[in-house]
Amino acid sequence: MTKHKNQVREFTSYVLIVVGALLASFSVACILLPNDAIDYGTAGIAIIISKMTGFRLSLCVLCVVLPFLVGGMLYLGRAFCIKAVIGSVVYMLGIEYFERIPFTLNTEHFLAVAFGGAILGAGLSLILKFGGCIDGSEILANIIVKKLSDKTGRNYSMNVILIAFNACVYLAAFILIDRSAALLSLLVYVVATAIIDHFTDHFEAIKQVRIITKKPDDMIRAIREDLGKTCTIMDTYGAIAGENKTLICYVNYFELQKLRDLINRFEEPSFTTISTIDEIIR
């Protein structure tokens, strides 16, 4: 029964990643680009290259994101990479398809861009919520954070890396395209990230996971071997369940999906809570 539920959950996650990628590609091809705005992250880089060279946007997206996908496969694992590849391929195919569809949004640029940013944010929220990724900047930030964590034993937020990356993208748009496009694109970033933060609870922040279980040994071993993470172990007592153990583990958002899958592998019942941590002081 547990195995069947996990299979249904996994299939649903792939379906929703595809839906999210289609929403994102529709927003970019049919709303943002016709209104002189661009996406952010590596998609923004691809759009700048496409505008300057005249190459097809879907081809530019492929060329820009491919090195990040390869890096994700090497450093972040096969499961993450499969979802990232599926999301990226659907996103590229969606752009290729939606660019050929005549679609006009008869409203002011400002409102169109705000609406397009909201749709983009909704699509990206679905992708991130279910363990996928279509933006190479997020993969890069995840790799850097993982390397720093492995080297220092500390947890780091991806926020600074993502802000710095996107600042470079918008500076390039400001210099290479025009000022209006850069400012409209900044509005896209603000609206999209506000939507993403709402539905993913600040995906760039560190997550604290509390797992309450009666048989923690196998779970602790799996967390160490599969995630390379350690746990704080506390003796706790439930009014009904009686004596148990509480495991406290700190992960980033992309590791969180892997930890969820790991917990679901165990038939032993457990109770898990997840919260966002703004800062860790050592």
Helices 179-200 & 109-129, crossing angle to 10 degrees?
A: 40
> Which pTM does this prediction carry?
0.82
Q: What is the pLDDT of residue 269?
A: 73
Q: In Å, how far are 62, 126, 198, 229, 281 from 277, measured between CA atoms?
A: 34, 22, 15, 17, 11
d(CA 163, CA 170): 11
Q: What is the pLDDT of residue 49?
A: 92
Name the one residue in this structure whose structure tokens are 């930890």: 259
Task: Write 218-221 long-range contacts (CB < 8 A, 24+).
Answer: 218/266, 218/268, 219/247, 219/262, 219/263, 219/266, 219/270, 220/247
Domain range annotation of the chain: 2-200, 206-277
State the average pLDDT for the chain.
Answer: 85
- Which CATH number describes the domain made up of 206-277? 3.30.70.120
What is the pLDDT confidence band of residue 198, given thresholds at 50, 70 and 90? confident
What is the pLDDT confidence band of residue 257, given thresholds at 50, 70 and 90? confident
What is the pLDDT confidence band of residue 2, given thresholds at 50, 70 and 90? low
What average pLDDT does this structure show over 203-212? Answer: 85
From the number of C-beta atoms within 10 Å of its C-beta (0-12, 13-18, 19+), residue 269 rates as exposed
Q: What is the pLDDT of residue 6?
A: 67
d(CA 10, CA 133): 15
What average pLDDT does this structure show over 64-85? Answer: 82
Q: What is the pLDDT of residue 282?
A: 64
Structure tokens at 217: 């040994």
Tens-place pLDDT, residues 76-126: 777 778 888 899 999 999 999 998 888 777 777 788 888 999 999 999 999
Q: Which residue has the higher pLDDT, 172 or 79?
A: 172
